[in-house]
Structure 1
Amino acid sequence: MSEAEKPIKRSHLRLRLGRIYYGTLRRILWIRMKKRFASTYKQEKLPFSYFSHKSILLRKLKNVDMWLQYNKIINLKLAVKKLNGIIIRPGEVFSYWKLIGKPSKRKGYVKGMILENGAICTGTGGGLCQLSNLIFWMTLHTPLTVIERHRHTYDVFPDSNRTQPFGSGATCFYPYGDLMIQNNTQDTYQLLVSVGEEYLEGEWLVTSRPEYSYKVVEKNHIIKGEYWGGFSRNNELYQQKYDINGNMIDERLIVKNSAIMMYSPFLEDKG
């Protein structure tokens, strides 16, 4: 099980220099991988659905103003235009930020909720993590390979009507906190994403009828008291592979999560 490291307070200067440094490394990586990135869009849908999912757009979160939720929808509508219909051919790589680009005011992005060092803040383009979370979750139910994903360092909100295991999302921060997915199969895939009335909706389509199905299961979920005084939440996620008859033919560890809890792990005894 991974360990939650003690939070480190860094100066604003160091944080700024770090963003410049890692941002430069990311742009160099984009140049080196330019020929491998998926860049073709197709309006016509591929014939077979591999997996689809949706997540609710408006959630009441503790100490979070609802205007941030409405602004998030504005940002999501802009971002999905850059991703919807993208084709990933065999050998190609999907890059979340390479396709979306920098979410700036000039492009119409507005302030939304972002999480920074476990605190709720506002920033231009805030809320786009819901889209990266959706794509990551869907990808875990396909044969596509996630080659870059960043976990949330902090567990900010208690579970509320959770339908997916803890730690099944993918945080994103431009440009170096990317979600990258590689197609190591012989089939071509297409990503569909849209903002509906109530839900953010997504689907992976494919050229051939799927031969397998996938399920994500959580194991070894535990809340630990850390030596430095805080609490961490830890688990492991496994991807199970099934044949057309429903027989499990493979299981592999895909994610180890360890996040610092920003709320009390204990429930009050109402009795």
Structure 2
Amino acid sequence: MEWNWRQSQKLKPIKRSKLRIYLGAKYYRLRRIIEWYTDEKKYVSTIDENLYPYQIKQHQTVLRRQLKDVDMWYQENKIINLKIAVKKLNGVVIKPGETFSYWKLIGRTTKRKGYTKGMVLHYGKFKPGVGGGLCQLSNLIYWNTLHTPLTVTERHRHSYDVFPDSKRTQPFGSGATCSYNYLDLQIHNKTTNTFQLCLKLTDDYLVGEWRALNPEMKLYEVYEKEQKITHEHWGHYVRHNMIYRKVFNGQNEQIDDEYITENHALMMYNPLLEYDGDVNNPKSSNETG
């Protein structure tokens, strides 16, 4: 993983006016809507309430996490928002040749639809925003997809590492940030199998799984490597790593080791308080925020 001065400069925070941010969001949202109706992708539209017979990957994430300096009402409102979004996605079927678009299925998050103010990450800080908290859902879907033969064709990494690791169960940077509608998560089915996305909320967890009409012989193990923290010349710490996955056949023999993505995130906390002396040697920890 090469990290040079030019890449460092791209991650350096830039102060933009509220007007520019507003107009930029309007522009990119309009461009995305035009894209949905003019590109040649066949977007998924089928929902099947009957569970497909084969479970490919299941994972669950905690609904309520006590984050530093964050009031718990953000978490409760997030749960309200997740319940609404899950109803839009639960049972969605992705047939061969089709593309799943997170925001095309969910739509805009508005008060009229029942969404409330949850936590929205904005340039390394958090603030209340209608529909906030849905990154937990996109993170979960992305993580599960990495354990299937489905192809992620659009995913956006988190540019900021806002909160210190706490009870992490996944490699850093193995999630997918989202913002209506220009930061989308899109998944394409290049296989001959048909997959079904199943989602639900329990009292304590958001649970998601990919199921399929036919069994899949390959298994996947997602892991990180080349993790490090650099202290940039402009004064901030940046966290880096690369995400790979090992591929196993039906006899549990490794047949491939695939590169997935690399991550570079501006740290919004002092890593020296979270790491053992050497900032390039993080403590072992595990969970995507």
Give the TM-score category using the shorter length: over 0.9
The whole-number CA distance in structure 2 between the counterparts of 1:104 and 1:7 is 29
The whole-number CA distance in structure 2 between the counterparts of 1:136 and 1:30 is 20
Matched, 1:39 2:41: no
2:236 counterpart residue number: 230
The whole-number CA distance in structure 1 between the counterparts of 2:41 and 2:263 is 32
Please, which of 200, 204, 217 is the counterpart of residue 211 of structure 1?
Answer: 217
2:287 counterpart residue number: none
> What residue identity is the alignment partner of 1:204?
W
The whole-number CA distance in structure 1 between the counterparts of 2:250 and 2:237 is 42
Alignment of structure 1 residues 129-144 onto 2, 5 Å: 129-144=135-150
1:243 counterpart residue number: 249
Tell me if the contact between 2:81 and 2:116 (Cα under 8 Å) persists in the aligned partners: yes
> What residue identity is the alignment partner of 2:80?
I
* CA shift in 2, pair 1:258/1:268, >3 Å: closer
The whole-number CA distance in structure 1 between the counterparts of 2:41 and 2:149 is 22
Matched, 1:48 2:47: no
Please, which of 137, 147, 167 is the counterpart of residue 161 of structure 1?
Answer: 167
How many aligned residue pairs are there? 270
Matched, 1:12 2:18: yes
- 1:269 shift after superposition: 9.9
Residues 61-96 of structure 1: CA deviation (Å, up to 9, x unaligned):
001000010000000000000000000000000000
Residues 35-79 of structure 1: CA deviation (Å, up to 9, x unaligned):
600000001111101000000000000010000100000000000
Matched, 1:97 2:75: no
- 1:120 shift after superposition: 1.1
2:192 counterpart residue number: 186
1:81 counterpart residue number: 87
- 1:7 shift after superposition: 0.6
Matched, 1:119 2:90: no
* CA shift in 2, pair 1:244/1:269, >3 Å: closer
Matched, 1:64 2:70: yes
- 1:33 shift after superposition: 3.7
TM-score by length of 1: 0.97
SS at match of 1:13: helix
> What residue identity is the alignment partner of 1:148?
E
> What residue identity is the alignment partner of 1:104?
T
* CA shift in 2, pair 1:268/1:156, >3 Å: closer
The whole-number CA distance in structure 2 between the counterparts of 1:268 and 1:114 is 24
2:155 counterpart residue number: 149
SS at match of 2:136: helix
1:266 counterpart residue number: 272
SS at match of 2:272: coil
Q: Which runs of 5+ in 2 are unaligned?
A: 277-289
The whole-number CA distance in structure 1 between the counterparts of 2:106 and 2:122 is 21
The whole-number CA distance in structure 1 between the counterparts of 2:271 and 2:51 is 45
CA RMSD between the two structures: 1.4
TM-score by length of 2: 0.91
The whole-number CA distance in structure 2 between the counterparts of 1:34 and 1:57 is 37
Q: Which runs of 5+ in 1 are unaligned?
A: none
